[in-house]
């Protein structure tokens, strides 16, 4: 059964227009149509995720080896299948303890990858980058640029130190029972708040920009659809 492509585009555009307007109506308040759209989106995503998981993981890693080589394929999939079976036992409250083995394996491997990557890819390089502007011997910049590099490095260092100081929440208790950080830490912390506010403002601006782009793209699609309809009519 063949559908006309312009008809499909028109039908898709109409559905898109309807759904977009219904989602926009959420600004005026919650109602059943918006909920239907949200439930439909969640269900669609769940179903799509299952399909993707089956197509990308379960079938090629579990069934494909057994299909290709039934004898040696069992050896290949035995351990993953056993651990997966244990993970299924988490559904039973009485046997869920047996699933902890698989869960421990998952958590351990995941954390090892995260921590190792964070140390190699973030902590060490970023600490080195914070120090490197003060290394004039190794700097490849020209002489006149070194001064600006040092100033920039100092600003980065100052911002880093004051921002980290803000997250120092330790304080000695006083006789009155209250706890307050030393004054010099309070001062640096106050300066650090400025840097944090600038960074958060930048993130918020980026978030707004992303939202504006999405809005503009949707409005443009709707306008194009309406123009198409006008042209068709």
Contacts with other proteins by CB under 8 A lie at 24, 27-29, 45, 48-49, 52-53, 55-57, 60, 109-110, 112-114, 116-118, 120-122, 125-126, 128-129, 132-133, 139, 199, 202-203, 205-210, 212-220, 223
Q: Which residues face 180 on adjacent strands?
A: 172
SS3 annotation, 66-88: HHHCHHHHHHHHHHHHHHHHHHH
Rounded CA-CA distance 158/112 in Å is 32
Q: Min. distance of Cβ 220 from other proteins in angstroms?
A: 5
3-state helix, strand, coil in the chain (%, to 5): 85, 0, 15
Judged by beta carbon, residue 95 or residue 200, the one nearer other proteins is: 200
Question: Measured from the CB of residue 148, what is the shortest distance to other proteins in angstroms?
Answer: 13
| 85 vs 116, beta carbon nearer other proteins | 116
To other proteins, the closest distance from the beta carbon of 65 in angstroms equals 11
State the minimum distance, in angstroms, from the CB of residue 5 to other proteins: 13
By beta-carbon proximity to other proteins, the closer residue of 186 and 217 is: 217
Smaller CB separation from other proteins, 49 or 187: 49
Q: Which is nearer to other proteins, 53 or 151 (CB)?
A: 53
Taking the least distance from each CB to other proteins, the nearer of 60 and 182 is: 60
Q: What is the DSSP string of 177-228?
A: S-EE--HHHHHHHHHHHHHHHHHHHHHHHHHHHHHHHHHHHHHHHHHHHHHH
Closest CA relative to residue 154, chosen from 129, 125, 134, 136: 134
Least Å distance, CB 215 to other proteins, is 6
CB of 184 to other proteins, least distance (A): 27
Contacts (Cβ under 8 Å, ≥6 apart) of 153: 130, 132, 133, 134
């Amino acid at each position: 059964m063949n559908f006309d492509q312009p008809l499909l585009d028109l039908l898709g555009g109409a559905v898109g227009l309807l759904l977009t307007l219904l989602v926009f109506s959420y600004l005026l308040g919650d109602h059943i149509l918006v909920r239907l759209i949200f439930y439909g989106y969640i269900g669609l995503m769940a179903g799509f995720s299952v399909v993707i998981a089956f197509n990308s993981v379960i079938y090629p890693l579990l069934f494909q080896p057994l299909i290709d080589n039934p004898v040696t394929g069992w050896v290949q999939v035995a351990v993953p299948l056993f651990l997966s079976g244990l993970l299924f036992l988490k559904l039973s409250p009485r046997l869920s303890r047996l699933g902890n083995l698989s869960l421990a394996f998952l958590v351990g491997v995941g954390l090892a990858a995260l921590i190792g990557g964070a140390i190699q890819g973030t902590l060490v390089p970023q600490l080195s980058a914070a120090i490197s502007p003060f290394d004039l011997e190794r700097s490849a910049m020209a002489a006149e640029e070194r001064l600006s590099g040092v100033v920039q490095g100092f600003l980065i260092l100052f911002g880093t130190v004051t921002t980290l100081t803000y997250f120092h929440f330790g304080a000695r208790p006083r006789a009155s029972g209250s706890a307050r950080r030393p004054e010099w830490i309070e001062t640096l912390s106050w300066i650090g708040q400025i840097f944090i506010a600038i960074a958060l403002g930048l993130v918020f601006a980026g978030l707004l920009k992303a939202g504006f782009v999405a809005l503009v793209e949707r409005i443009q699609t709707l306008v194009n659809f309406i123009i198409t309809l006008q042209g068709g009519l």
